[in-house]
Structure 1
Amino acid sequence: MYRIFVAIFAIVLVVMPLVPATPEFWINQLNTIGISSLVALGLIILTGIGGMTSFGQAAFMGIGAYTSAYLCTALGLSPWIGLLCGLLLASLIAFILGQLTLRLSGHFLGLSTIALSLVFFYLFGNMEFLGRHDGIPGIQPISIFGFSFMKARQMFYLIWFCVFAGILLSINLLNSRNGRAICSLKHGASMAESFGINTQKYRMVAFVYAAFFAALAGWLYAHEQRAISPSAFSLNYGIEYLFMAVIGGSVSIWGAVVGAALVIILRDQIQAYAPLFVDERVNVEIIVFGVMMILILHFARGGLWPIMLEKFYRLLGQKSVPSHELEIKPDTQELHKREKPPEGEVILEAQNLRKTFGGLVAVNNVSFKVRSGEIIGLIGPNGAGKSTTFNLITGVLPLTSGKVIFRGRDITGASARKIATLGIGRTFQHVQLLPGMSVLENVALGAHLRAPSTILSSIFHTERRKESQLLQEAKFQCERVGLGDYLHEQAGSLPLGKQRIVEIARALALDPSLLLLDEVAAGLRYMEKQQLSKVLSDLRDEGVSILLVEHDMDFVMNLTTNLVVMDFGTKIAEGTPEEIQTNPAVVQAYLGVNDDV
């Protein structure tokens, strides 16, 4: 049904310019909406999905426009060469700016893009060869095989072809391995690094991707208007494009079109009718847009497109929007599996791990070993330093002193991403899932390293075989832990206990040699714990070593080979479950005793 809706929209757009009665004003306005949609589309990938705010898209649009305009008017080159040069220049500037700012956190990227907008606005307006503030007139039209896009109705088709192509390519990207990595940037960057995802790389990809679409929009704008000036690429327009993305639907690809249409139509109506009621010097549209932004952020943070889609399906008699189900081919060849170490081999050795935060000692000279095929329990009271020890082993936190040896290799100081490539998978004390993505997509993140692909292959959807292999692996791991009926459910809609099981499936998708599980039984019912216990026992029999943090002593005692007990950051005991249960220090610090009444 969704595809039918899109097809109807496309047919209307195709037919509209062919009808002589269609006003020229409508065509011009739709052209403006299409060009703005391209800019907003890049912002949805960058800001709404990637979590990086940019006010500089108008500047990137100006780079694309001015590059092509100058090459065509001053050097007499083809607009297509202007397009290529504009896209390359905008992407290069985005890459350089990204190298300088994307490693920083917080507001630095937003401030840098504001600076970019101001710099290029005054640069365009003060350079003689670019016409200063008068700009560049007399830009030649685009032509293809002798056909010239001279008129607005002709440009209409080129503009909207680019819009639909951009939407299709963006959907391809998001429904891929690389797209899921971009989706993890906003709410799960530290989690993503723990599964080998290079978050810095994907921040750069999103930033350059958004600049690319802005430059494409600038090229279309320059050759549609046939004249440009710096005023069209000022900071005000950069803010307006961001507003389009937010109001249309910051995490919805089609929200770019909805937001652009609403803002442009509303702006034109305000400019037409506001002077009838207030002094024309009053900038009413800024006030209206500001109020709208506040209302959208308060009542509809997902933007208008999700609301429109929900209303559309309710009119068709459906209670909710159908979940997006990724295609899984059951006959797909399995992903390559990691060779498991021989039974009894020391797979992990923690040597005198120490971590301090200022004057607080969180972990104090803790040492233990994990052998292949063992399940080791790491237990102790809340605040004993168990989760901190996990973070030291997996590279999330740097060690103050000590060593971590994994399969004979010193991994002390290695990044979380590097450690993941060696075969250490983990879950988290506080669940770290992407709530808006399906269970299957969340688990597929764990297999990110096992099915490498390029960004271009994702955009053009040429990686079908690898993507099918990856999804098949994710499905297998889901079914393995009892989530087969929840594949296409949103992860954020599941109970906490089920979300912890999703984390286990995601860690298994990495195909680890060592699995670190942090309080995985919390929130599970008795039968679910029994099922989980069987899964972990089966993994042990397959040669997977497990280091387990858990407070449910019945669960731990019946499952583990050995136990390490911590209290106030220090190891106070180590031994078999039977030995630990009778250890006086452990009983006093953690287990306690039952008093007969």
Structure 2
Amino acid sequence: MNPRYLLLALVLILGVAPLLLPPYYVTLLNYIGLYTLVVLGLVLLTGVGGMTSFGQAAFVGLGAYTTAYLTTAEQLPAWLAWAGASPWLTLVVGIALTALVAMVLGAMTLKLSGHYLPLGTIAWGLSLYYLFGTLESLGGHTGVSGLPSISVFGYALDKGEKIYYLIWVVLALAMLITRNLLDSREGRAIRALKGGQVMAESMGVNTFRSKMVIFVISAVFAALSGWLYAHTQRFVNPTPFGLNMGIDYLFMALIGGVGSVWGALLGAGILTMLKQWLQDLLPHLLGNNGNYEAIVFGVLIVLLMQRAPGGLWPMLVRLMPQRYRSRKTLPPEAADSPALARRQLPEHGQLILQARNVTRRFGGLVANNDMNLEVHAGEILALIGPNGAGKSTMFNQLSGVDTPTSGDVLFMGQKINGTTSRKVAALGMSRTFQHVKLLPTMSVLENVAIGAHLRGSKGVVAAALHLDRQEECRLLNEARHQLQRVGLGEFLYEEAGSLALGQQRILEIARALCADPCLLLLDEPAAGLRLKEKEALGILLSRLRSEGMAILLVEHDMDFVMGLVDRVVVMEFGQRIAQGLPEEVQKDPVVLEAYLGGAE
């Protein structure tokens, strides 16, 4: 369903709700709005970026306590006195402080991986929680009371039904900003994080920057919720900002659908209402001795995760008729968008890539030993060898994923030893992967558009405010062009995960071409392809070669390789044992013995 229609329906329903509902339910709706604002940050951080955080409640507390302190302190420092004049000024201070704290905490924790990242968020979440309860200036565990109400053009929002509209307007704007961000070049970079750091960096994405962006945005959303909460309650104490509430926020995201903007609202609404109903109903059934609602709630969560692991919103979307489902398509104006600027390819025969005496050791294991090879513009070079020969290690060193222990790798005459794969991509090298790396739930078009990341320049602010539409049309149009070029033009809007393995490999080639490289590194591109698909791939690679592109491929299909490439380099046990024309290599007795099963 088109999100604009959902937003319109939501506005109409919520607009009349305070006029028809008792104050109790208006209060519940206020809480749902405040919780959804926090969960939106988790959609970005956990659902899209793949980073689990238990510390969002602490950021809510940071926003709440900042405004509580500034609006109730009897005497502020001279340099900060201006901020206590209005809750709106404390909001500015709270957002600035939260962003600063998030950047410091992000710098310490976002480089962690696996279970260490969520453990890190638990650590600083608990630290902030205990800080709130320890500082006497913040009221200790007693808290801070007497906060002023927010005023809009002199109208005091001093009751729940009055501040209700501000909460939901802020939430609607946050949801719109989140959707705009995800529907952009920056959004694709954030989504690429789930495809793995190696893939994202090879496409030119600064993965640490993308992580920091969503970490800070999620923290700011939480602080904004805390500011609204503080002036709704007009009282703040540490209890709502502990680890238990951080876990509840994650549950809300999981219930609704951790990767969905609308799932954030659904999850917050269901959990909030369910908790209230259980607290009201269970004491009548089971008595007041014991927290039965927590037990029942836990069982229901487990059942939900079993039946709908992706959350309720994606399940509801699947039940909708196809015509009502929203999917990213090319805007009509994209067809008329000017083409992206293209790289001037080197002259035919020019040396593009050179490996000189490259050695890579892993402790006592020598994966590559004194390896040499050269790739020239307008040629296809094959790197072949038996399993375990060291081809993948060599491939990673050439593309900037790994660094040689000794020796040099030169690309376009520039030494790239130790250079990140992101910077290597910017120089004009693009690659595919032995094991396909893509975003299965994203469309084929958007997957390929990730490859054009370095060909755009619009940042987070432009994306959030939808000021990047012209550039976005050009990037998507380039992705469409490359998909048509490789024969996948009819699958633009299909989910990438629904394609056959062979088609996914072709998609990776289209994504690599979208970066406009002068050197293409292909890791087993023909694996999983049928005969006709291999023939089409061979035609494509031959056409790219004729245009002046240099291609290095690792491949096990000898029929495909020998009928296509210009030269072959053969590896065994990390060393080069032969190189030359395909027909020469096929007759080399050393190669026959090592790779093709032995000479007769």
TM-score bracket for this pair, using the shorter chain length: over 0.9
SS at match of 2:367: strand
2:475 equivalent to 1:476: no
1:40 and 1:293 map into 2 onto residues whose CA distance is 17
2:278 equivalent to 1:262: no
More deviation, 106-115/413-422: 106-115
Match of 1:97 among 91, 105, 108: 105
1:322 and 1:43 map into 2 onto residues whose CA distance is 22
2:596 and 2:544 map into 1 onto residues whose CA distance is 28
Q: How does 1:321-336 map to 2 (within 5 A)?
A: 321=325, 323-327=327-331, 329-336=334-341
RMSD over equivalenced CA pairs, Å: 1.7
* Structure 1: runs of 5+ lacking an equivalent: none
Aligned in 2, Cα 1:189/1:289: closer, same or farther, shift over 3 Å? farther
C-alpha deviation, 1:320, in angstroms: 8.8
Number of aligned residue pairs: 589
Q: How does 1:46-125 map to 2 (within 5 A)?
A: 46-74=45-73, 76-125=84-133
Aligned in 2, Cα 1:570/1:297: closer, same or farther, shift over 3 Å? farther
Q: How does 1:135-174 map to 2 (within 5 A)?
A: 135-174=143-182
C-alpha deviation, 1:281, in angstroms: 5.1
Deviation string, structure 1 residues 264-298 (Cα, Å, up to 9, x no partner): 11111122222234454523333234323333333
Match of 1:583 among 559, 580, 588: 588
Q: Which amino acid is the alignment partner of residue 275 of structure 1?
A: P
C-alpha deviation, 1:361, in angstroms: 2.2
Equivalent in the alignment of 1:246 = 254
TM-score (norm 2): 0.95
Equivalent in the alignment of 1:296 = 304
Aligned in 2, Cα 1:471/1:416: closer, same or farther, shift over 3 Å? same
Q: Is the 8 A contact 1:188 1:434 kept in 2?
A: no
Q: How does 1:412-561 map to 2 (within 5 A)?
A: 412-561=417-566
The percentage of counterpart residues that share the same residue type is 53
Q: Which amino acid is the alignment partner of residue 340 of structure 2?
A: L
Match of 1:224 among 211, 232, 246: 232
Equivalent in the alignment of 1:285 = 293
Equivalent in the alignment of 2:81 = none
Equivalent in the alignment of 1:350 = 355
1:369 and 1:102 map into 2 onto residues whose CA distance is 38
SS at match of 1:341: coil
C-alpha deviation, 1:390, in angstroms: 0.7
2:573 equivalent to 1:568: yes
SS at match of 2:336: coil
TM-score (norm 1): 0.95
C-alpha deviation, 1:346, in angstroms: 0.9
C-alpha deviation, 1:109, in angstroms: 2.7
C-alpha deviation, 1:537, in angstroms: 1.0
More deviation, 182-191/116-125: 116-125
C-alpha deviation, 1:64, in angstroms: 0.5
Q: Which amino acid is the alignment partner of residue 553 of structure 2?
A: L
Deviation string, structure 1 residues 97-117 (Cα, Å, up to 9, x no partner): 011111122233322322222
Q: Is the 8 A contact 2:54 2:246 kept in 1?
A: yes
More deviation, 444-453/179-188: 179-188
Q: How does 1:353-364 map to 2 (within 5 A)?
A: 353-364=358-369
C-alpha deviation, 1:594, in angstroms: 9.5
Q: Is the 8 A contact 2:359 2:370 kept in 1?
A: yes
Q: Is the 8 A contact 2:589 2:599 kept in 1?
A: no
SS at match of 1:132: coil
The 4+ residue runs of structure 1 with deviation greater than 6 A are: none
Deviation string, structure 1 residues 111-139 (Cα, Å, up to 9, x no partner): 23222222222222222222222211121
Deviation string, structure 1 residues 375-422 (Cα, Å, up to 9, x no partner): 101112222221221111112122122210111111111111111111
2:564 and 2:467 map into 1 onto residues whose CA distance is 45
1:571 and 1:194 map into 2 onto residues whose CA distance is 26
Q: Is the 8 A contact 2:186 2:463 kept in 1?
A: yes
* Structure 2: runs of 5+ lacking an equivalent: 77-83
SS at match of 1:241: helix
SS at match of 1:356: strand
1:286 and 1:569 map into 2 onto residues whose CA distance is 59
Q: Which amino acid is the alignment partner of residue 143 of structure 1?
A: S
Q: Which amino acid is the alignment partner of residue 142 of structure 1?
A: I
Equivalent in the alignment of 2:12 = 11
